């Protein structure tokens, strides 16, 4: 270990992500929702783990944490004792503070202004700024130092996503004794797009610091291997690439694999099965006027999600029906658009485009008291989302590009009676697995309209067979399976001097 490296800690498993698994509401901390958080917390509890991330506060300082009843405690960090009410008592949370400059440069300008659009097929132009990249580098260094300090000798460190692309190599320099995994939740771009990146070599070197690199789709893994060979002279290997650089560990094998993420199937099914969910779904249909077909879209309000293309195609479907008198029963579309990054110009533009299209479709096809598009721009609780999944007939998941898209899997998990049809973009990672969906090219408006008409006309027996197959797959591939498979790969990548309880340990 380098002489200036942080001292080792006591945690056998360290998760490193942009955000901690908690968020603040009205000054109090609460466990963040989502299957990923639940899966990771379960693994961390059994492995004496720590979670390193940003708390979400722009300015560091003391925070008020609920401790039960009317009592509160003022603390400088989120520690296991103060987090007991969050069911996180066995997990150490290590905040990495970000100030306003860090947030602007590391988070907005590099992570979301440069990396996000480029990794999503350059749907929007990336902005490359040297000053912002220097801050991104510095923030990644601070995350790596926090991980180095928390990890026990021979520990496993699992780094997540595009905010922290440089952490694996930085951590390897600080702690060559630990096993390092990195998982990218978004797509990894093809070579011709990645080559635009001014910091392409540094990003590749950062990722090559890992022992295991995980991608959502095989095309992403292949893209990475090709770039590592082209730019860093890495040698393709049956299980990944072999390093050909002394600074990165000459001859070291970096395992590269596909690990498609999933959801907490049991939780979705439990909510869908609840009487109150079924009642809420019936109420939704009644309030919509009992249409024969309800289309549903649930997306973050992001230009990658293809909401605008979907609205245009839905309008075309309605116009086609009116113009040609095709026998298509009355249909409505519910579109949930979860706000995000609302201060960024491209997101402001996307919101205006979507809302204009909602107005145009309703203006052309609604009747008094009965709009054809029901647009909701806010976050909804999981229970409300599942009620919408149960109420809907056809789920529209049509992003231009998506790493996975867990909404598609949530919809499938909620269809306990094996009804409903999923229309799914070929450019979502879920398309590799959910092959019984109606797959569509979202860039082809005619194809989306055709998919909508196919879904409406599909025989119940056909739809039932396809949904049963989809549910069988999703039920067998949960987020817990995903976490276990990645940790198993890390276990097999353990160095020879790793502690015996790490290699071959039961994961998850």
Token pair, residue 74, equals 């003022």
Secondary structure (3-state) at 333: strand
Domain of residue 360, CATH code: 3.40.50.2000
Between 249 and 440, where is the model more confident? Answer: 440
pLDDT digits (tens, 9 = 90+) for 197-226: 999 999 999 999 999 999 999 999 999 999
- CB-based burial label for 476 (10 Å; 0-12, 13-18, 19+): exposed
Residues whose CB falls within 8 Å of the CB of residue 467, separated by 6 or more in sequence, listed in order: 412, 415, 418, 419, 420, 421, 422, 436
User: Is 1 inside a domain boundary?
Assistant: no
17-21, 24-28, 54-58, 463-467, range with the lowest pLDDT: 24-28
Question: Is the pLDDT score of 10 beyond 60?
Answer: yes
Separation of alpha carbons 272 and 260, rounded Å: 24
Tens of pLDDT, residues 372-429: 999 999 999 999 999 999 999 999 999 999 999 999 999 999 999 999 999 999 999 9
Domain that holds residue 282: 265-476
- Examine residue 278 and state whether it is found in any structural domain, yes or no: yes
Residue 301 in domain? yes
Q: Is residue 6 part of a domain?
A: no
Mark whether 461 and 484 lie in a shared domain: no
pLDDT of residue 358: 97
Residues 288 and 191 in one domain: no
Q: In 151-274, which ranges are continuous DSSP H helix?
A: 167-174, 191-194, 200-207, 218-232, 265-273
- In what helix (H) or strand (E) does residue 101 lie, and over which residues does it extend? helix 100-102
Is the pLDDT confidence value at 503 over 70? no
Of 121, 51, 130, 138, the closest CA to residue 86 belongs to: 51
Contacting residues for 369 by C-beta, under 8 A, at least 6 apart: none
The SS3 of residue 64 is strand
Name the residue with tokens 């309209």.
449
Helices 460-476 and 406-414, axial angle in degrees (round to 10): 110
Between the two ends of the chain, the Cα-to-Cα distance in Å is 29
Based on the fold, state whether residues 76 and 92 are members of the same structural domain: yes
Q: For Cα atoms 216, 217, 218, give the angle at the middle one, nearest 5 degrees.
A: 135
- pTM of structure: 0.89
The two beta strands, 11-19 and 50-54, are parallel
Question: Given this model, what pLDDT does residue 82 score?
Answer: 44
Which of 359, 389, 353 minimizes the C-alpha distance to 374? 359
Same domain, 292 and 412: yes
Write down the pLDDT at residue 29. 76
Instruction: Give the position of tokens 């109090």.
Output: 28
Number of domains in the chain: 2
3-class SS string, 420-441? CEEEEECCEHHHHCCCCCEEEC
Indicate whether 503 belongs to any domain.
no
Which pLDDT belongs to residue 466?
98
- 344 and 421 both lie in a single domain: yes
Residues 316 and 175 in one domain: no
**Token output for 494:** 């353990």
Whether residue 4 is contained in a domain is answered as: no
- Same domain for 324 and 256: no
Chain center to CA of 370: 35
Residue 413 lies in a domain: yes
Band of pLDDT at residue 1, cut at 50, 70 and 90: very low
- 501 assigned to some structural domain: no
Cβ pair 65, 73 in contact under 8 A: yes
Residue 333 sits in the same domain as residue 188: no
| d(C-alpha 79, C-alpha 20), whole Å | 12
Same domain assignment for residues 245 and 271: no
238 with 378, same domain? no
Whole-angstrom distance, CA of residue 93 vs CA of residue 80:
7
Cβ(401)–Cβ(254) below 8 Å: no
pLDDT per residue as tens digits for the range 142-177: 999 999 999 999 999 999 999 999 999 999 999 999
Regarding whether 82 and 147 lie in a shared domain, the answer is: yes
Cβ atoms within 10 Å of 501's Cβ, excluding its own: 10
CB 162 within 8 A of CB 117: no
State whether 102 and 67 are in the same domain: yes
How large is the average pLDDT for residues 246-252?
A: 76
């Amino acid at each position: 270990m380098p002489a200036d490296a942080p001292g080792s800690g006591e945690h056998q498993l360290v998760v490193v992500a942009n955000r901690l698994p908690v968020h603040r509401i009205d000054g109090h901390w609460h466990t963040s929702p989502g299957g990923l958080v639940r899966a990771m917390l379960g693994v961390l509890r059994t492995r004496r783990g720590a979670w390193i991330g940003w708390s979400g506060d722009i300015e560091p300082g003391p925070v008020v944490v609920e401790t039960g009843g009317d009592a509160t405690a003022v603390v400088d960090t989120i520690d296991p004792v103060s987090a007991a009410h969050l069911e996180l008592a066995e997990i150490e949370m290590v905040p990495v503070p970000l100030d306003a400059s860090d947030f602007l440069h590391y988070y907005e300008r590099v992570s979301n202004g440069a990396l996000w659009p480029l990794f999503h097929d350059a749907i929007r132009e990336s902005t490359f700024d040297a000053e912002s990249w220097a801050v991104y580098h510095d923030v990644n260094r601070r995350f790596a130092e926090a991980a180095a300090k928390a990890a026990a000798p021979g520990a496993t460190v699992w780094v997540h996503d595009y905010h922290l692309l440089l952490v694996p190599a930085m951590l390897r320099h600080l702690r060559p004794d630990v096993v390092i995994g990195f998982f990218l939740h978004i797509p990894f771009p093809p070579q011709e797009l990645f080559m635009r990146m001014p910091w392409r070599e540094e990003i590749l070197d950062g990722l090559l610091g890992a022992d295991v690199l995980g991608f959502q789709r095989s095309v992403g893994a292949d893209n990475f291997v090709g770039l590592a060979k082209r730019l860093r002279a890495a040698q393709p290997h049956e299980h990944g690439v072999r390093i050909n650089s002394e600074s990165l560990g000459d001859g070291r094998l970096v395992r590269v694999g596909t690990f498609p993420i999933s959801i907490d199937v049991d939780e979705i099914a439990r909510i869908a099965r609840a009487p109150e969910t079924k009642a809420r779904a019936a109420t939704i249909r009644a309030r919509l006027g009992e249409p024969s077909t309800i289309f549903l879209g649930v997306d973050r309000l992001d230009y990658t999600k293809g909401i605008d293309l979907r609205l245009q195609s839905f309008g075309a479907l309605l116009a086609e029906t009116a113009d040609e008198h095709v026998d298509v029963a009355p249909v409505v579309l519910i579109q949930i658009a979860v706000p995000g990054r609302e201060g960024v110009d491209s997101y402001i533009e996307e919101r205006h485009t979507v809302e204009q299209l909602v107005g145009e479709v309703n203006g052309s096809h609604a009747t008094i008291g009965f709009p054809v598009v029901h647009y909701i721009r806010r976050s909804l609780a999981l229970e409300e989302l599942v009620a919408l999944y149960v109420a809907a007939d056809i789920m529209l998941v049509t992003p231009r590009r998506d790493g996975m898209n867990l909404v598609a899997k949530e919809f499938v998990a909620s269809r306990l009676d094996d009804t409903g049809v999923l229309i799914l973009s070929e450019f979502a990672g879920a398309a590799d697995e959910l092959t019984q969906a109606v797959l569509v090219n979202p860039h082809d408006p005619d194809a989306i309209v055709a998919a909508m008409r196919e879904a409406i006309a599909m025989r119940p027996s056909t739809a039932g067979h396809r949904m049963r197959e989809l549910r069988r797959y999703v039920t067998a591939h949960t987020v817990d399976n995903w976490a276990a498979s990645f940790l198993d790969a890390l276990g097999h990548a353990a160095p020879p001097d790793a502690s015996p309880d790490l290699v071959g340990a039961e994961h998850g």
